[in-house]
Amino acid sequence: MRSIARWVVSRLRRYRPDRNPLRRRSDRIEAALVVAALAAVLLAAWPAALIARTVYDGGVRAERVGPGARQLVEATVIEEASAVPANGRGLLGASSVRWTLPGGEVREGMVPVALLLRDGPANARLWVDAQGRPATAPPQRTETVTRAWLAAFGVVSAAAVLAWAGFALGRHRLDRRRYREWEAAWAAADRRWRRHHI
């Protein structure tokens, strides 16, 4: 823990604004890049909150059950699961099922086993959409909250990665410039102090 604290203190000393005569212009530019990177990450909190709110609201809408949304209906399994091609990539189990819509209409078709909530060997329940087609179950509140948090984390993480990449690129260019200045200073010192042999 102390090593982390020392590292943080050393970074703060390195990038703090002061009137140190040994601090070069490139050092001040690097400190400004650090401030800009931190500001970009902090400013990403607002878009992250907006996106999280949008994802959350969409999840809450998807959770709703009622007219015009997904509904849970009773179903009867006519024939047990059989293998049917799924997008040409492997096999997916599907059962022949009959279900009754809230309006009284009876439908029948092949339904993936994963969509059936079994109550017994022949009885099941099935989520259907507004058109009466089999649908996935609506998300739970914990899933909605988790997706919202992950969306916010993704935005802040992307901002942090971009800020770090921008800082790293800027520092790389500054380092190249410092090395050129350092070599020029050594060359000037070499010319000034070299002993000439005759």
In angstroms, how far is CA 76 from the centroid of its own chain? 41
Which pLDDT value is given to residue 191? 85
Cα–Cα dist 124/137, whole Å: 14
pLDDT band of residue 82 (cuts 50, 70, 90) is: low
Residue 90 has pLDDT above 70, yes or no: no
pTM for the structure as a whole: 0.66
Percentage of the chain modeled with pLDDT above 70? 89
How many domains, the chain? 2
Q: How many residues does the chain have?
A: 198
Residue 21 has pLDDT above 90, yes or no: no
Same domain flag for 80 and 113: yes
Residue 135 has pLDDT above 70, yes or no: yes
Residue 86 has pLDDT above 60, yes or no: no
Percentage of the chain modeled with pLDDT above 90? 27
Residue 56 has pLDDT above 60, yes or no: yes
The owner of tokens 């959409």 is 129
Collapse the DSSP code of 154 into the 3-class scheme (helix H, G, I; strand E, B; otherwise coil) and give the result: helix
* Residue 162 within any structural domain of the chain: yes
Which pLDDT value is given to residue 166? 93
Residue 91 has pLDDT above 50, yes or no: no
Same domain flag for 43 and 56: yes
Helix (H) or strand (E) holding 127: strand 123-128
Please tell me the least confidently modeled range out of 5-14, 28-37, 46-55. 5-14
Same domain flag for 74 and 130: yes
Higher pLDDT, 126 or 92: 126
pLDDT band of residue 160 (cuts 50, 70, 90) is: very high
* Structural domain that includes position 133: 65-137
Residue 159 has pLDDT above 90, yes or no: yes
* Residue 86 within any structural domain of the chain: yes
Which pLDDT value is given to residue 92? 64
* Residue 161 within any structural domain of the chain: yes
Same domain flag for 133 and 156: no
CA distances from 141 to 49, 63, 149, 152 (A): 18, 7, 12, 17
**Winning range, highest mean pLDDT, from 12-26, 40-54, 111-125:** 40-54
Same domain flag for 165 and 70: no
